[in-house]
Amino acid sequence: MALLASWAASGQTQTNKATSAGKTVPAAESPAVYRGARYEASNRRDPFLNPLLLKKKEDVDEEVQRDNAPPGIAGMKIKDVELLGFSVSLEGKTAVFRGTDKRVYFLHEGDRMFDGYIKTVNLDSVQLIRETKMQSGKVLTQEVTKRLRT
Which regions of the chain are under pLDDT 50? 1, 4, 13, 15-18, 28-34
Can you tell me the distance from the alpha carbon of 98 to that of 105, in angstroms, rounded to the nearest whole number?
6
CATH number for the segment(s) 72-147: 2.30.30.830
Q: Give the predicted TM-score (pTM) of the model.
A: 0.58
Domain boundaries, given as residue ranges, for the chain:
2-54, 72-147
Q: Give per-residue pLDDT as tens, 121-150.
A: 998 999 999 999 998 889 999 999 999 876
State the pLDDT at residue 31.
Answer: 44
State the pLDDT at residue 38.
Answer: 72
State the pLDDT at residue 52.
Answer: 78
Can you tell me the distance from the alpha carbon of 4 to that of 13, in angstroms, rounded to the nearest whole number?
14
